[in-house]
Amino acid sequence: MNFRLTLFIHLAIISALPFQAAAAETEWLLPNFANRLSVEVKNPGNSSLQALATLPVVKAQAVALNFPGRLALAVLVADGQSDRPATIIASQSDDLDGDGSPDEFEFPVDLPPHSQCRVDIYYSTTLEDSFPWSKRVSAKHSYGYNREVAALESESAGYRTYGGFFLDFHGRKTGAVGLWNDAAGYVPVQRDLGTGRDVLHIGATLGLGGVFLRRAGKISQAPANVPTYAHKPSPEMVPHYRVVAQGPLRAIIEATLDNWQIENDSIRLEARYSIDAGERFVRCRVIATPVQVAKDHEYEVGIGVRDLPAGSVSSDAGQLIVTGRQNARDGDVGLAIYFDPTQYSPASTIQTADGSNRAVIGKARLSPGITSQQSYAAAGAWSGSGIANPGELLKEMREKVEAHAEIGALTFASTPHPEKVEAEPQ
């Protein structure tokens, strides 16, 4: 073959490759949708990342008007190694403040260290539909006989709160992966019917991730709800709950105590708890707001876990882990909180009515006109789940708690074929 002709063919092939790649990246894959927001997602960490990427809607709407519309469908764009241009993935939008409009949009990513991917979110302001994604988390404002409880769970672990602004822990039986909180609420704790077990006795302690205030050496805990089956009157001041999101990828609940009276001071507590598909830990955010606080009063705000009999404590920077055994029947239990060590004091012992606890105190104090916010994560682990060493698992979990998907560049586009919008796809 003529050398010039051969060179021309090679150059033509080489020059066509970037064009083909660009065409695959910009191809309009879902003709019924008028709008598309392309999202760059990065894993900045040194380990592989399997997590939910969270896109703030305000940030998205600065680029894509009316995002996510009335219907949205997320598509993971291929990296060139696949025989298909993209893959549809599950997604979810959450209305955090209850005003009827979504505040966050999330979808799963699976990224090697220091890598990135592109997810295209096609959305419409006129179409309406819902997609039956596999439900991998759950949130409810009920639990068995006790309607004054909010519960949330993944397929690996369950948690609930019934006032006091702490979490209770429900461990899964070995091999019993699934959403078992509801069924377990009707099973006596002495029985094993395969649903798992409430393995943590809280009493008047901090439980798991419990919040407390301290002033002049006095510890104050928010009042707890009285369960229906106790047949006792409820305290005047009790939290009320809201289910923010029921999944399928992220479950979120809120607890609010509007008028907590401590002596003559009035304080509002608001907590948000969330758990993601595939995770064992709960992300927690607690805001303490002074409604009416004496001008010379200042409160420390702490979080902690109850001590476990014959247990051990691990308190590295940024994590507090307690392990032990409350009874012979349930075996070993581990409780952990994870936090920013720059925002908290070193761990110390805190005494409550039913025993000792380990806790850290936030550096941000609550005082007149000054709100205190605590952000942390909490997790439980149980040997009955097939975990040989709950404490070691909880130590390893810290890396997952700290890992996150980073949202990068956002790019908006509208369909090049408006005549196909709301038409039958061809």
Query: For 283-307, how does the pLDDT look when each residue is reduced to its tens digit (9 = 90+)?
Result: 999 999 999 999 999 999 999 999 9
- Residue 144 CB coordination number (10 Å): 18
According to the model, what pLDDT value does residue 197 have? 85
- Residue 318 CB coordination number (10 Å): 18
Domain that holds residue 87: 29-132+406-418
Whether residues 64 and 113 share a domain: the answer is yes
Whether residues 47 and 179 share a domain: the answer is no
- The Cα 292–Cα 369 span in angstroms is 9
Whether residues 306 and 196 share a domain: the answer is yes
Whether residues 121 and 147 share a domain: the answer is no
b/e per residue 104-127 (b: at least 16 CB within 10 A): bbbbbbebeeeebbbbbbbbbeeb
Q: Is residue 105 part of a domain?
A: yes
The CATH number of the domain holding residue 39 is 2.60.40.1180
Q: Is residue 400 part of a domain?
A: no
pLDDT at 8 over 90: no
Q: Is residue 6 part of a domain?
A: no
- The Cα 99–Cα 78 span in angstroms is 36
Entry pTM? 0.91
- The Cα 94–Cα 100 span in angstroms is 10
pLDDT at 97 over 80: yes
Average pLDDT over residues 317-335: 92
Q: Is residue 377 part of a domain?
A: yes
Which three-class secondary structure state does DSSP give residue 329? coil
Q: Is residue 98 part of a domain?
A: yes
Whether residues 98 and 241 share a domain: the answer is no
> Taking a C-beta distance cutoff of 8 angstroms, is the pair 84, 39 a contact?
no
Write the DSSP string, 216-235.
TTEEE-PPBPPPGGG--PPP
Q: Is residue 23 part of a domain?
A: no
Average pLDDT over residues 216-243: 85
Q: What is the count of structural domains for the chain?
A: 2
Whether residues 83 and 207 share a domain: the answer is no
> Taking a C-beta distance cutoff of 8 angstroms, is the pair 21, 383 a contact?
no
The CATH number of the domain holding residue 307 is 2.70.98
Who has greater pLDDT, 275 or 422?
275
Q: Is residue 8 part of a domain?
A: no
- The Cα 170–Cα 153 span in angstroms is 9
Q: Is residue 20 part of a domain?
A: no
Whether residues 145 and 218 share a domain: the answer is yes
pLDDT at 66 over 50: yes
Whether residues 379 and 332 share a domain: the answer is yes
